[in-house]
Structure 1
Amino acid sequence: MHTCVFKDDARKAYLDAEGKLDLAKVQARWTELGKIKVSLGNKYFTPAVVEKVKGLSDSDQQRFLDVMMGGLSNDDSSVGVYATRPEDYDVFSFYLEPLIREYHKIEGQTKQEHDWNIPVGEYVLTKIDSRLEKVSMRARVARNVKGWNLPPSMDKDERIRFENKMVEVFGSFGIPGKYHSLTPGHKNQITNQQADELRNKHFLFNDMTTDNHLTSSGVASDWPHGRGIWISEDETKMIWIGEEDQLRIISIVQGNDLGKVDQSLHELLSGIEKSGLEFAEHPIYGVITTCPTNMGTGKRQSILGKFPNITKGGTDEKKLKEVARSLGLQARGVGGEHSNMDKEGTADISPSARFGVTEAIVTKRLYEGLIKLYDMEVQAAGGNRQNCCIIY
């Protein structure tokens, strides 16, 4: 269990007496972490990268340190880097590009393309099992807005200004709903009890100050200022403000047709764009996100499912994660990344690829992966479908 440390304190360990970046200290820490787990941020901190960093201005060297802070502060990081502003992907391409290519398994020249032409009536879960009639299905896209710093380097004032900008958008984009703010003194502020009720419904994100990946990288700084959630009247559309990305735009549908989730999400996304906001995009990488794992489409599509047999009653999360990974999927706890599964092996299942695939392919991969995962759960139940996973 990590003791959470915030970025301003964490980064002091990598500065010299004059407050400048000390690359030898960074290298020593990466070497130390490499004995436990080698993140991609660690792997690509090469001698050639060090030479490049030496030629940067002092301010860009400080930014470069900020990019690495999540990885330097956590011994369980798989990636370990967070962008601090959209330009980081170009300024630090000598470090980030090979990392991005490995994570997304990109070979040759790849340019992100978008395709929301996702059929309704094709990716239907009851085709996998007739019991999968009412499933908790969700899709979300990560977005950041052009002209603003990314969350790791926003200060309190910028976070509050961004939240207020979005409140204006919610009042004009044409979909009935209500904004719930966590910001002290905000006109839409909700109580801690109301926030917990939204978390219990799996709507609102958790207290970010409990996650050392978010605190050490600066994502969680100034908590809870500038954070909140907009929820549509029918509770199928939601927008997070101020989590890992400025916006997480979410569709939650109870049913069995993955295409209907996409239909709802695209309607919400289009409404925001029509309000005049311009999202930050890269000519090659597509959607710009704080964590490079989400770039490209920025889309994550998932279902909540119980896998009691693969996980042995929730005691073997590692097995489910390995099986899912072999199918191009990710398995997470019900509370999202870094959360645990319960004793029924309840997991959030989604495709891992975001970049180099279209939005339509993400949906297709989820459906095809679930077919295979469900078959494996049946096999783990001794072939008895009645004792295997119920996706809900």
Structure 2
Amino acid sequence: MSNHSFMKQPVSDWMRGTGPDSDIVISSRIRIARNLHGIPFPLLATNQQSAESLTRLTAVAESTDFADLGHFYVMKLVELNATERQVLVEKHLISPNLANESRNGGLLLKDDESISIMLNEEDHLRIQCLYPGLQIREAWEAASQLDDVFEAKVDYAFDEKRGYLTSCPTNVGTGIRASVMMHLPALVLTQQINRILQAVAQVGLAVRGLYGEGSEAIGNLFQISNQITLGQSEEEIIDNLYGVVKQIIEHEKAAREQLRQENITRLTDRVCRSYGILKHAAIMETKEAAQRLSDIRLGADLGLLKDVSPTMLNELMVMTQPGFLQHIYNKQMNAEERDIYRARLIRETLVRKLSAPRQSDKSKKLQE
């Protein structure tokens, strides 16, 4: 069993709270990409050069200004095993690229996991701030504060015309990626999702899956983010995303009401079937688990299922991923074994958390 704090619980502390529109918006994220002046970017750097950038950036974490922002763990990716790196990906704390390339890769992780700073990924420095619900502006304020601390200590690669220089041309300029993770089951069920996503693309935003670029949108989870980083200010990027997300929220709410009004019996049947399958299945693949969990989350949001908390569903979404699943049962598994243990874990969790009788108000008062 790993002693790393991030391995001890599937849901980060920040995810246990709620934020604005949290029934639809799972999380808000700001990511800032920066590189050091005078050192080749990670993709071209030698082992010695990438080691130098790692040393310079981790030194910032030891400064007094940085300490004022909270307690951070300093990790070298080479010292983590494959399962630990996979869990970090599944919790959205590092990218799949950094997990696969551990040479002089590093991570600065805040104790509540709301801030993760990747070192020597595609860029020397990638600051990531995560908040629950629709709090993209609050996430930007936190990321900007961290960026200021780093910029005061190291010299960034910057061009007067192009702005901050990055490995990927699509990040040049502000170097900022603002994204919101949304749960949109009603738009999918009412077959409106393609029209909505096409409209989103026309206003300069990108739609990706659960783990960002190149990943599939499973469990009706969609990541909406800016595509343009050059020619707009950070505030314009964030305001544009915020405005579009608010419109998508309204469309999803309208679609949920449409489902409720047109055939509440069919919707209830879908939710209850998914609940029953999750509670009794002996084998469960990742995609099916995500879809079934999406159904019961929708049922909980609409009041069709009682005592189902968003935190429990967040936990199951992470716990049933391959890395965390192998960590929980402390064994390497092939795909078929993971499907069996995934079903077992879901059954045990639902029985444990949903079958316990609720304590009455009267008994609570007697204890007090």
TM-score (norm 1): 0.56
1:327 aligns with 2:219: no
Contact 1:231 1:239 in 2 (8 A): yes
Report the CA distance between 1:174 and its aligned residue.
2.3
1:40-96 deviations in whole A, cap 9, x for unaligned? xxxxxxxxxxxxxxxxxxxxxxxxxxxxxxxxxxxxxxxxxxxxxxxxxxxxxxxxx
The residue that corresponds to 1:284 in the other structure is 161
1:190 aligns with one of 80, 87, 108: 80
Report the CA distance between 1:229 and its aligned residue.
1.3
1:309-361 deviations in whole A, cap 9, x for unaligned? 44459x9986664232023321111111111110x321111122211111111
Q: 1:375 to 1:385 in 2, by over 3 A?
A: farther
Q: 1:316 to 1:371 in 2, by over 3 A?
A: closer
1:267 aligns with 2:157: no
1:206 aligns with one of 96, 101, 108: 96
The residue that corresponds to 1:337 in the other structure is 213
Q: Distance in 2 between matches of 1:150 and 1:317?
A: 38
1:232 aligns with one of 103, 107, 110: 110
Report the CA distance between 1:256 and its aligned residue.
3.6
1:258 aligns with 2:136: yes
Contact 2:174 2:230 in 1 (8 A): yes
Report the CA distance between 1:308 and its aligned residue.
2.5
Question: Matched residue of 1:225: which SS?
Answer: coil
Task: Give % identity.
Answer: 24
Report the CA distance between 1:168 and its aligned residue.
1.6
Greater helix fraction, Structure 1 or Structure 2: 2
Q: Distance in 2 between matches of 1:170 and 1:333?
A: 32
1:140-186 deviations in whole A, cap 9, x for unaligned? 11101111112221122222222122222221242320112113xxx
Q: Which runs of 4+ in 1 moved over 6 A?
A: 315-318, 385-392
Contact 1:320 1:331 in 2 (8 A): no
In structure 2, the gaps of 5 or more residues are 1-18, 262-266, 268-296, 302-309, 315-368
1:140 aligns with one of 6, 28, 31: 31
Contact 1:333 1:348 in 2 (8 A): yes
Q: 1:353 to 1:385 in 2, by over 3 A?
A: farther
Contact 2:196 2:248 in 1 (8 A): no
Q: 1:307 to 1:150 in 2, by over 3 A?
A: same
1:251-280 deviations in whole A, cap 9, x for unaligned? 111244332111211121112122x20111
Q: Distance in 2 between matches of 1:195 and 1:155?
A: 23
Q: Counterparts in 2 of 1:146-161, with a 5 A limit?
A: 146-161=37-52
Report the CA distance between 1:248 and its aligned residue.
0.8
Contact 2:30 2:143 in 1 (8 A): yes
Q: Distance in 2 between matches of 1:209 and 1:174?
A: 25
1:180 aligns with one of 71, 75, 81: 75
Contact 1:285 1:296 in 2 (8 A): yes
Contact 1:287 1:298 in 2 (8 A): yes
Q: Counterparts in 2 of 1:1-392, with a 5 A limit?
A: 126=20, 131=23, 135-172=26-63, 173-175=65-67, 176-183=71-78, 189-207=79-97, 223-274=101-152, 276-311=153-188, 321-342=197-218, 344-378=219-253, 383-384=258-259
Contact 2:134 2:180 in 1 (8 A): no
Q: Distance in 2 between matches of 1:193 and 1:358?
A: 39
Report the CA distance between 1:241 and its aligned residue.
1.1
Q: Distance in 2 between matches of 1:152 and 1:130?
A: 37
CA RMSD of aligned residues (A): 3.2
Question: Matched residue of 1:152: which SS?
Answer: coil
TM-score (norm 2): 0.59
1:275-306 deviations in whole A, cap 9, x for unaligned? x2011111111111111111111111111112
Contact 1:317 1:345 in 2 (8 A): no
Report the CA distance between 1:191 and its aligned residue.
2.5
The residue that corresponds to 2:341 in the other structure is none
Q: How many pairs does the alignment contain? A: 246
1:165-216 deviations in whole A, cap 9, x for unaligned? 2222221242320112113xxxxx2222222222221101114697xxxxxx
Q: Distance in 2 between matches of 1:316 and 1:179?
A: 44
Question: Matched residue of 2:74: which SS?
Answer: strand
Contact 2:98 2:105 in 1 (8 A): no
Question: Matched residue of 2:213: which SS?
Answer: coil
